[in-house]
Structure 1
Amino acid sequence: MEGCARERRDSSFGRVITYSPKVFIPLTQLCRDVCHYCTFAQSPSRLAAPYMTLDEVLAVAREGQAAGCTEALLTLGEKPELRYKAARVWLAENGYSSTVDYVTAACKAIVAETTLIPHVNAGTLSRAELAQLRPVMGSFGLMLESGSPALLARDGAHFGSPDKKPWRRLATLARAGRLKIPTTTGLLLGIGEDRTQRISDLKNIARLHTKYGHIQEVIIQNFRAKSGTRMANWPDVSVLELLWTIAAARLILPADISIQAPPNLSPDDLLLLADSGLNDWGGVSPVTPDHVNPEAPWPEIVRLSAATEAAGKVLRARLPVYAQYLNDPSWLDDRIRPRCLEVTDSEGRVRSDQWRPGEPELGPPAVSKSPALLSQSREILAILDRRYRGEALEHSDVVRLFQTVDIDREAIYECANQLRSEQVGETVTFVVNRNINYTNVCKYSCAFCAFSKGLPKSEGRERPYDITGHELARRASEAWGLGATEVCLQGGIHPGYDGNTYRTIVEAVKAAEPELHVHAFSPLELHHGAETLGLGIEDYLRVLMEAGLDTVPGTAAEILDDRVRAKICPDKLSAGQWLETMAAAHRVGLRSTATIMFGHIDHAEHWATHLLAVRHLQLQTGGFTEFVPLPFVAREAPLYRRGQARPGPTREESRGMHAIARIVLGDVIRNIQASWTKLGPVEALHCLNLGVNDLGGCLMNESISRAAGAGYGQCWSPAAMQSAILGVGRVPSQRTTLYGSPPEERKAQIQATPLQILPLEQPMAKIKAEKKLA
């Protein structure tokens, strides 16, 4: 049975076993129940005060936050005011109508004053009480313990404990499901029940989850006798009984429910537990003891990680809210969901670093959340071996690479670097170019974009602008004089533009500098131009080519998965339209780049879909010159500021994207580029060891990343770029847009001319924008 349980666990959760870095806050140890195995509940005479004060709550919470915890576990007795006068008096004197009312206030204080996510164990609750708590907690916990009515008899473990009536606990769990509250429950083994009862309890939990989808984990907790209780001489549960029940839970419960066993209650059997079918160790605190089991200290994270690795698994930190509840806003209140997304990676687990695109790193996390490095997975090595042999990968293969990049990174990075060496050698290319974003006015409202502005009022970091034809020509000539070989032209979808506007933009640049390569217009701009003139996309592209358009940027791709696009850019081109626009450009003889913008609401399966869609089109047309991963810069992005997105990819996810792009695409798209404006020069240079062979352009001006909050400047001079490439032991080479070699006089020009750029003129935008080029 345990073998089947392990197989089912592995198929659902892979090689990861999770834990929640938590701080334990025992809000009150008063309880109206008298469970005969419990040492947590105390009488008022044995306590300094009936409840912790809010100041005390916050002091413990802040200590946990400083230690790197993400969960605030509020544990308390059930309805103590119904038994103790001291509880009623304290609540009344402090302005609270009930214990649940005070729990709500404590959660509000934790949410307001810390970054922690409350997980509340407050016993059996009414629908109204759960609804009161829901906006200020991430998740709710209520152990079923056992559905055996015999435990309520005079000699039973739950005699005198009205809240331990099974129907009350099952009713509370059902109410939590109806309210869409992520919920933890579990069994307490060895208190008088038998295996038949446990199976019945697991089936009841499974039925609740099938109906509501809210049971995120089931704890299989072994009884341990405690001195000073009526069950002090009761035998502890054997490890074999614990392992049998874990296996039974894995086989009975739906596959998406996590199964947990507390590691501090079986400290000598961690390897057996890790091999039994569980996938979670529960909450582990670096700060506070287990107040419910004070005799059993938490294992240190290092020791827990070592035991997990010995079982062939890897330890990862999670939130008290499991990943499947983070993406659907109906499960979490607007006060809780943003703080969850703030600290999670694409798999919904705690971010392993504090790196963010466009920003200086904040330093290492306070507690170790990164997995120990394991021997490499045979599955991953087999996937990589197929790529070494030139075989194409399936969608599921690419998903697995992304999901395991933080665990199997050494093998993935080595593969990417070796393929890069074989495909393009040791040369690192760059282009001397200038970005010209001619307007930031846009009629679209993409949720990730901080660059676009509306008319006519000023918004955000920059006023809405629309440069004149004179300024456009001046910037082009200035770029040429500084040694540039390319101008990259992109802007918002100005409501006053039509297809002729884009044509005149190209003509203005070519009139000023006929030899300057014009790399211009996103697929969305091309569609807008074609539609306003009533032309098909290929006919319109030919109009632009006659005006002097040389290549097009494959931007605005974002994620080529319409499920994601429906949330981040619902009114933009669909994934199919983007691909068809690129195909049309390639058919008329225009080469293009390809991009991906990742790290917001997207996940591994979306990334795999994107890469394979680009690969499929390249096999058809051969028109892509390079692939450019663009990590989401979150700081000023509306989606992030509204608390609806992660703060960009983690560093490992970003590195993984560059490496896996080389693995998936390198044989059909030779050039993989690192965007230094988003990564920063240091990280971009590091990516040269992960499959990257191009650093893009020096840019001279860069507006889009800067508007989103990136702080890496607007220009990386060619001389500095060459020096940096040499500094990491690679060979720098200036290129053209199409990866040719620039004329020698162009190279000489850039060496002879310092990059001194005149201030930009950014005139306020007007509705009749097309007149700007008159």
Structure 2
Amino acid sequence: MSSCYDGLLEGEDRALASGPLDALIARSERMTMAGFGPIVTYSRKVFIPLTKLCRDVCHYCTFASTPSRVDTAYMSREAVLAVARAGAAAGCREALFTLGDRPEARYAAAREALGQLGHSTTLSYVEEMARAVLDETGLLPHINAGLMDDADYAALRPVSASMGLMLETVSERLSQKGGPHHGSPDKWPAHRLASIEAAGRAAVPFTTGLLIGIGETREERIEALIAIRDLHRRYGHIQEVIIQNFRAKPGTLMVDHPEPSLEDHLWTIAMARLVLGPDMVIQAPPNLHAPEELAALLRAGVNDWGGVSPVTPDHVNPEAPWPHLALLEQATVAAGRVLRERLAIGPAYALEADRWSEPAIARKVRQSIDARGLPVTDGWHAGTGDLAPALASGGATAGSAEIDAIIAAARSGERLDEDAIIRLFEADGSHVEQITQAADRLRREVVGDAVTHVINRNINYTNICLYKCGFCAFSKGSTKAMRGPAYRLDLEEVGRRAAEAWDRGATEVCLQGGIHPDYDGNTYLSVIKAVRDAAPGIHIHAFSPLEVTHGATTLGLSLEDYLTQLRDAGLSTLPGTAAEILDDEIRDIICPDKLNTQEWLEVMRTAHRVGLRTTATIMYGHVEGYRHWARHLLRVRDLQVETGGFTEFVPLPFVHMEAPIWRKGRSRSGPSFRETILMHAVARLVLNPVIVNIQASWVKLGATGVAAALRAGVNDLGGTLMDESITRAAGGLNGQLCDPAQMAAYAAEAGRHSVQRTTLYGRVAARELEAAE
């Protein structure tokens, strides 16, 4: 039997469109969860109605007005900035400019007002005001300015994070006499589609959508969705699609027009999901439905609530106040979802800010977001001494069974695949607690409740380095370095510090430095000799894989021959630093002249082969994504299965404050606290059972962060680090020494006990224990 949707839809979609609503919604919900999981986003914004004059006369609109009914044709600069500053003070991140379409084409009053403001067009004034808001308040402008062409988008793109224009409908009937768009030249579908296409050519992250219930048919709604889909396939610029339900408003020609039912709205949302696919953000305004109806919208395919303002009303729907954010979150959580703030530029576009934004916008966006493209709102940054925020979950989050299945596979020792690991890193809401508790149970079963540490001293013998890693604030290019003095310790001083560390109870010295232009392989052998002569009994944990490679290359030796020489000279173990992210896509950005992934792995493989144990690290939270984290963990795991040479895994969150790559606006501002805790917990699960020790860096996490990590699968706090300098050079504030008493306090805070260990996780001899007391 033929369907009224023949020619528009095919196969299953056509059957679902004509069939029971429950089946359609079930299909849409599965697609939404596949694309976005339980996350539902909203933008915390202010609304700036720059002008309510408009050349269109839509029969349902209460926003547009006439010169005789407004106090002023345009908001003044002072009024605009007052609203924006109030929004910034209230924690908003977006300024939504709403305005009528080219009122100067209809009203002399608009032309006169623009002239007094020094402008000839409304769009020119929009550009000035958006720039003022961006520069003076930091809010990211989103501009809804009506029909625009290529030149208009080019002018406004530098001062906006995104723009929008509702398609509303593709029905030309509605623009003819008797229709709601009659007398509104800007509402002809062909004109609006041309403007949306021009936004695609300009690479503008764009919001569009449908207004349903104004007289269009369901077939015409599908035609509009297909038009949007086809434009997005061509340009990739549609960041979200709004499915807005018509509301009859007093004082309009359509005051008696029937409003669409909830079921009709749900049908259209679900059809939008089917037509536009699992990855399209679909929005419905939460203030146009009763709170008890919001869960139904989510099930139908909504994954975004749009803009919600704690400062300004919805000027387009003034009769419908925004729900309080607490109520919106409550309704979202009750539906098994997690409410999270987003920017004016959607997450997927924020992660590609260089493509979708001008440089000044891209910098601001990049420094605001986590690896999901969502703004970091927890107020925590690695190395700053910030108090760790609570990771409250609210109610039970949908999708827990999937998380349980991944956890079960990890506990059994199975090698997880990339997608499963990414799913763990994407966890939010109650899933975070689900993962951290599982990791901590596994920790207890594998290594018990002791929190171990080693008494050690850092000796960074030079900060002069030939390499220019973008994340490193420690290294200096010469003795005339801009950021603090460059130095090079002589061998006598290296030996003195090692002897002093031994006398103070240290069992280990950790030696690393920059790649000094005068260093060769003999330099590192001399450093070992200096330490061994000064402190014969101390464990020498020294030399990153980059230093090892530099030493071998300068002497013309193979890695195996050189590592054997280092071992025979007294080297005990190697730190697994210089790993950063073990994926060359990222290394090409942050350290292009450094070891590549396979070279780092080969140093570790060779060290293990000659009997030298090593640690493994990851430095995360800068330019990489969850897929890169997954690849890193799997590469470490695979090498451990091959060699068994890693003693521990050490997550190191990026400390951004003084890092060159951050100061240039090329990186994020470190990981969020959620990401940081998940890194430790997920590492425990992914590396099970081949690496049993997961370490937290007290230097990076601070006291409260350490306590949280110890409840998320961590069993070791590393070294006491007399003279820690690398994190401090990056702007870290958490001190340079954590004595055994503080280690014990960290453990006690998590309800556990502290135990001193050797570098290789052995028992400490009586002499060292006595000296450390």
Q: Same fold (TM over 0.5)?
A: yes
Match of 2:289 among 249, 266, 272: 266
In the alignment, which of 296, 301, 317 is matched to residue 277 of structure 1?
Answer: 301
1:202 deviates by 1.1
Indicate how the Cα distance of structure 1 residues 569 and 319 shifts in structure 2: closer, same or farther if over 3 A, else same: same
Match of 2:586 in 1: 564
Aligned AA (1:17): V
Amino acid at match of 1:355: W
- Give 2:284's aligned amino acid: A
Instruction: Name 1:110's counterpart in structure 2.
Output: 133
Name the residue aligned to 2:380. 355
The one of 81, 102, 106 aligned to 2:104: 81
The question of whether the paired residues in 1 share the 8 Å contact of 2:711 and 2:750 is answered with no
Kept after mapping to 2: 8 A contact 1:305/1:371: no
In structure 2, the gaps of 5 or more residues are 1-23
Which of 366, 370, 377 does residue 345 from structure 1 map onto?
370
Question: Counterparts of 1:10 and 1:689 in 2: how far apart (Å)?
Answer: 29
Structure 1 residues 71-108: Cα deviation after superposition (integer angstroms, max 9, x where no partner): 11111111111112222222211222321111111111
1:451 matched to which residue of 2? Answer: 474
Is residue 105 of structure 2 the alignment partner of residue 50 of structure 1? Answer: no
Q: How far apart are residue 371 of structure 1 and its match? A: 5.7
Instruction: Evaluate the alpha carbon distance shift between residue 160 and residue 314 of structure 1 in structure 2; reply closer, same or farther with a 3 A threshold.
Output: same
For 2:637 and 2:288, the matched residues in 1 are separated by 51
Give the secondary-structure state (helix, strand or coil) at the position aligned to 2:95: strand
Q: 1: distance between equivalents of 2:435 and 2:305?
A: 28
Shift, 1:393, TM fit: 2.3
Distance in 1 separating the partners of 2:71 and 2:528: 78
What displacement does 1:235 show? Answer: 1.0
* Residue 210 (structure 2) pairs with residue 191 (structure 1): no
CA–CA distance in structure 2, aligned partners of residues 119 and 587 of structure 1:
57
Mean Cα deviation higher: 431-440 or 739-748: 739-748
1:698 aligned residue: 720
Shift in alpha-carbon separation, 1:362–1:381, aligned structure 2, 3 A: closer
Q: Does the CA contact (< 8 Å) of 2:479 and 2:487 recur in 1?
A: no
In 1: Cα distance, 2:504 partner to 2:227 partner: 73
The partner residue of 1:398 within 411, 415, 421 is 421
Q: Does 2:602 match 1:580?
A: yes
Read off the aligned partner of 1:335 and give its amino acid letter.
A
Cα distance change on mapping 1:169 and 1:364 into 2, 3 Å: farther
- What whole-Å deviation, never above 9, does each CA across 1:626-655 have from its counterpart, x for those lacking one? 110001101111121122222111111111
State the partner residue of 2:325: 301
- Structure 2 equivalent of residue 713 of structure 1: 735
Structure 1's unaligned 5+ residue stretches are: 752-774
- How far the C-alpha of 1:66 sits from its partner, in A, is 1.9
Instruction: Name the structure 1 match of 2:228.
Output: 205
* In the alignment, structure 1 residue 617 sits paired with structure 2 residue 639: yes
* SS of residue paired to 1:269: helix
What secondary structure does 1:453 align onto? coil
The 1-side partners of 2:125 and 2:392 are apart by 36
Structure 2 residue 648 is matched with structure 1 residue 626: yes
C-alpha distance after superposition, 1:521-579 (max 9, x if no partner):
11111111111111111111111112211100001111112222121112211212211
SS in 2 for 1:671: coil
Q: Is the 8 A contact 1:247 1:276 kept in 2?
A: yes
Q: CA deviation at 1:403?
A: 0.6
Letter in 2 for 1:122: A
Answer yes or no: is 1:321 the counterpart of 2:345: yes
Q: Secondary structure at the match of 1:645?
A: coil
1:639 to 655, 661, 664: 661
CA drift of 1:724 comes to 3.8
1:63 corresponds to 2:86: yes
For 1:21-32, list aligned pairs within 5 A: 21-32=44-55
Q: Which residue of 2 aligns with 1:516?
A: 538
Is residue 2:559 matched to residue 1:537? yes
Matches of 1:594 and 1:149, distance apart in 2: 64
State the secondary structure of the residue aligned to 2:300: coil
The alpha carbon displacement at 1:602 in A equals 1.9
Give the superposition deviation at 1:420. 0.8
TM-score (norm 2): 0.94
Kept in 2: contact 1:522–1:554 (CA 8 A): yes
Q: Using the alignment, how far apart are the partners of 1:422 and 1:266 within structure 2?
A: 50
SS at match of 1:289: coil
Contact 1:600 1:648 in 2 (8 A): yes
Structure 1 residue 406, shift from structure 2 partner: 4.5
The residue correspondences of 1:50-449 to structure 2 (distance < 5 A) are 50-267=73-290, 268-328=292-352, 329-361=354-386, 372-375=394-397, 377-449=400-472
Segment drifting more, 443-452 vs 391-400: 391-400
Q: CA RMSD in A?
A: 1.7
Alpha-carbon deviation of 1:456?
Answer: 4.1
Secondary structure of the corresponding residue to residue 672 of structure 1: coil
When residues 344 and 514 of structure 1 are mapped into structure 2, their CA distance, relative to the original with a 3 A threshold, is same
Counterpart secondary structure, 1:20: strand
Alignment partner of 1:125: what SS? coil
Q: Give the paired residue count.
A: 747
Which residue does the alignment assign to 1:19? 42
Instruction: Provide the rounded CA distance (Å) in 2 between the counterparts of 1:362 and 1:61.
Output: 29
TM-score normalized by structure 1?
0.94
Secondary structure of the structure 1 residue equivalent to 2:519? coil
Deviation string 1:19-73 (CA, Å, 9 cap, x unpaired) is 1111111111111111111100111121111111122111111221222222111
Matching residue's letter, 2:669:
P
Higher mean C-alpha displacement, 286-295 vs 53-62: 53-62
What SS class does the counterpart of residue 533 from structure 2 fall into?
A: helix
Contact 1:305–1:372 (Cα < 8 Å) also in 2? no
Contact 2:479–2:485 (CA<8 Å) still a contact in 1? no
- Seq. identity, %: 54
Residue 275 of structure 1 aligns to a residue whose secondary structure is: helix
From the superposition, tell whether residues 364 and 581 of structure 1 become closer, same or farther in structure 2 (CA, over 3 Å): closer
Question: Counterpart of 1:679?
Answer: 701
- Asked whether the equivalents of residues 23 and 64 of structure 1 are also in contact (C-alpha less than 8 Å), the reply is yes
363 and 493 in structure 1: CA distance in 2 versus 1, 3 angstrom threshold = closer
Letter in 2 for 1:464: A
Q: SS of 1:408's equivalent?
A: helix
- Per-residue CA deviation, residues 133-182 of structure 1 (Å, 9 max, x unaligned), is 10111001110111111122121111111111222211111111111110
Shift of 1:450: 1.0
Query: Structure 1, residues 402-452: CA drift from partner, whole Å, max 9, x if none?
Result: 111454122111111111111111111111111111111112111111111
Give 3-state SS (helix, strand or coil) of 1:474's partner.
Answer: helix
Q: Helix, strand or coil: the match of 2:414?
A: coil
